Structure 1
Amino acid sequence: MENSKVTIHDIAKALNIDSSTVSRALNNNSRVTQKTKNRVNEKANELGYQRNLLASSLRNNKSNTIGVIVPRISRHFFSSAIAGIEETAYEAGYNVIICQSLEQLSREQKIIQTLSENRVDGVLISISMETKDNHNLLILKKNGTPIVFFDRHLDIPGNSNVLIDDFQGGFDATEHLISQGCKCIAHFSGPQELEIYKNRFEGYKSALEKHNIELNENLIISSKLMESDGIESAKKLLSQPIPIDGIFSANDVAAIGAMQYLKGEGIKIPEDIAIVGFSNEPISSVIEPSLTTIDQPGFEMGKIAANLLLTQIKDKSGSTVAETIVLKPILIKRNSSKRLI
């Protein structure tokens, strides 16, 4: 039996009982006595029996598995969100399949196809920078698979979302720079097709408007917000005959790239240019100078999103009302922006 998988028939033969009794015992059926359940489970362990979860899920139309799709696991925010998701799912008896799109639409499409084929009970997703509409998700919708967006979302009526108030975060970051005496503030933006970057940009504009600072389109640079993009964006700013004295970056990674370049050019931070990021990556507190940023509560967001999804999965009637939960951003002031004491 070492070279083949142990089946319920092998257990039944060893115990001289019916295969149907073994199956019921392994599934903790009330029609089987506890004594028989104990005998069956002991023999199953002894023989090295492993349940066929795929076959079981096909029979029950339930896999007790949820899929999670994030742009990059390496980003602290997403790894924190995954930790919150896993903790919540584990407590509810669910397994988690974690996938990363690497910001590619084609990769996201393949992942969704694979998760659908593996009959996951639901999907939590933070979309890639290339995702413009919900075409990707139609296969899940057709199968009746619940979907909950977190952080990066598509504005789809009737879909649940867990978000941070990106508008308020952008506003707070920009107003903080203004409070430190900045009057010419650049903005490093992500793709404006994505709601989170659109809202952070709108917050930036609103803060400028509140303080009667004219918006200068030349100071708005859009990219994928990688570290290299931060470097290139800083180069573009310095090539312009505009006296930049502040930068609000829509993420920490691009802000850190810009800081590296500016320091290399002999520009003092924050005395010459003050900088604020977004997301509170761990490195932001240890670089020199430490980076002022907007904190995103990833772990909390992951737990809330997982609970929303599990509620939908367990609701067989389909009567669960879609919810959008918006978490409050927190400005963390550090040395990259402290110009005034």
Structure 2
Amino acid sequence: MIRFDYARPTAVAEAVRAAGDQHAAFLAGGTNLVDLMKENVARPLHVIDINRLPLDQIEEREDGGLRLGALVTNADTAYDLRVRQHYPLLSSAILAGASPQLRNAATNGGNLNQRTRCYYFYDVDTPCNKRNPGEGCGAIGGVNRIHAILGASPQCIATHPSDMCVALAALEAQVQVTGPDGSRTILFADYHRLPDDEPWRDNTLRPGELVTAIDLPAERFTHNYTYLKLRDRLSYAFALVSVAVAMRLEDNGRIGDVRIALGGVAHKPWRRREAEEAIRNEPPGEKAFDTAARALLAGARGQGDNDFKIDLARRAIMRALAQAAAGTPQSQIDKRIA
């Protein structure tokens, strides 16, 4: 681990000023950053510990939604009564991830900004455009079982590892950030980015900007929802494919509003509105679910080892839609697929 300066501000403005350098990093729970520093992948010269900032509350908004402070832990968010009652999809997704010990330390803001778990990104002796621009991508033509089947580029086929973010994409959350130029709101769909020609940029944060909160809209999906996560082990493993579904059935039994987001398949949580539009006003069933799955996965491309993900994702989408339509969400305690 390299030498670095350490600061522990007590105000957001102070933290932003301290991060006025591209070689600075914010430290919250540290469950990802500290590992990256130990592995010599992240080499910040300035570490700004933000744990004294007043960002550790969940607050009700005037419009009926919730504001999740960036420093609220994943565990406190998942078990908050308001989240469990009004946003059970989010609670379920959080509980599907990591371990209880990590959820007790990891923060909401940190979850948004965690880095990929690509083998080549973590191994400093292998080429990685995300870690060192211009080196090449070792995963292309290499071992790529966990890698992207959607939205990849010739520069990078890494995936975003978060479970929480997949649910937030389906719920159409908003991210509140503060930086040198003031505060702004970023739609969740615009927060993370595809690799394109700049795979080292995971999100659309500007230099020095700090995530302060995540806003959940007043619109709620409390009955017809599910978070289905498929992985190599039933616990403490990242998703090969995950599916978040938020659905509303009309009085006639047909599908009304529906949101579908995928994890484990792209550089960001993957959502295509045309796939959702294709099954609105349709009766829930295998035909509609297959239509949505094929639309979501249009253009999917494997890299060899991960070719299986395409069919796995199709079947996972159909199963998740069936769970949501039946009002039988996947249990994160008994992880056998319902």
- Classify the TM-score, shorter chain: under 0.3
Higher Cα radius of gyration: 1
Return the TM-score normalized by structure 2. 0.21
